[in-house]
Amino acid sequence: MVPALNERFGLPRTLAALDRCRGIDEMIVVDGGSTDGTLDWLQSQKGILLVSSSRGKGTQLNAGAAQASGDVILFLHADCLLDQAALDQLLAAMSDAQLSGGGFCIRFAEARPRSLRLVAAGINLRARAKRTATGDQGIFVRKKVFDAIGGAPEWPLFEDVELVRRIKTTGKFAILKAPLTISGRRYIQHGVFRTAVLIYTLRLAYWFGVSPQRLKLWFRDTRSVDEMNG
């Protein structure tokens, strides 16, 4: 399931990669009010369940999950690429009845700047050490678990962190070695180390109790103001 907002450039590649994978029962895209042609493009595609929702990752995750018919839901960002090896690991992992959900290690699609490799290494180290994941790591969860924990919080930021925390209260959470390929656009646009420092600062503030609503004011979206405003 893919939440989308003004993702006309990257979304076709994400969905094409999913379409090439064997073992996916349905593809759901939840559009949060795109104005860049994303919605028109989606409406012209076959084999995609299109859901309209209010803007907001948590809101869109919940709207898509409500329409999902499978036993396991995989939440992917609109600029992530999943391959068959990663999907096979997911399906194998979910054969463990004690596993409630999980996420992937990541690699960046861009080869440069090379500092992106350091960022990926840091993300993967944290994920494996703490058995945790954020949204760009492709969070997956059993549908019955997602429903039981009340879905994702409809927060402006860190809804993915809270979702993982809730999943972990119900059972095991796996970090799969097969990497999910993600876009480094946020880091490239705003500077790799500057962005990494900002993200870790936000995470630290969150763990010290600063509300997601307040933290959102500190966060710059990767898309331009024109794209966000349509």
Task: Kindly report, residue by residue over 118-176, the tens digit of the pLDDT.
Answer: 999 999 999 999 999 999 999 999 999 999 999 999 999 999 999 999 999 999 999 99
Angle between helical axes of 159-168 and 57-67 (0-180°, round to 10): 50
Taken as a whole, the chain contains a residue count of 230
Q: CB neighbours (10 Å) of residue 91?
A: 14
Nearest to 145 by CA among 219, 111, 94: 94
Please return the burial class of 32, using the count of CB atoms within 10 Å of its CB with bins 0-12, 13-18 and 19+: buried
Using 50, 70 and 90 to split pLDDT, how confident is the model at 83? very high
Cα–Cα distance, 85 to 230 (Å, whole number): 37
Helix, strand, or coil (residue 142): strand
Which phi and psi angles does 140 have, rounded to 5°? Answer: -125, 150
pLDDT at 226 over 60: no
| CATH code for residues 2-229 | 3.90.550.10
Residue 227 has pLDDT above 60, yes or no: no
Strands 99-108 and 172-182: parallel
**pLDDT at position 218, please?**
72
CA distance linking residue 61 with residue 54, whole number of Å: 11
Residue type present at position 175: I
CA gap 227, 10 in Å, rounded: 14
Query: What are the residue ranges spanned by the domains of the chain?
Result: 2-229
pLDDT of residue 207: 94
Q: How far apart are CA 138 and CA 191, in angstroms?
A: 23
**Closest by Cα among 95, 87, 122, 90 to 108:** 122
Q: Decide: 4 and 30 in contact? Cβ < 8 Å.
A: yes
Q: Sheet containing 49-52: give its strands across.
A: 2-4, 28-31, 49-52
Mean pLDDT score of the chain: 93
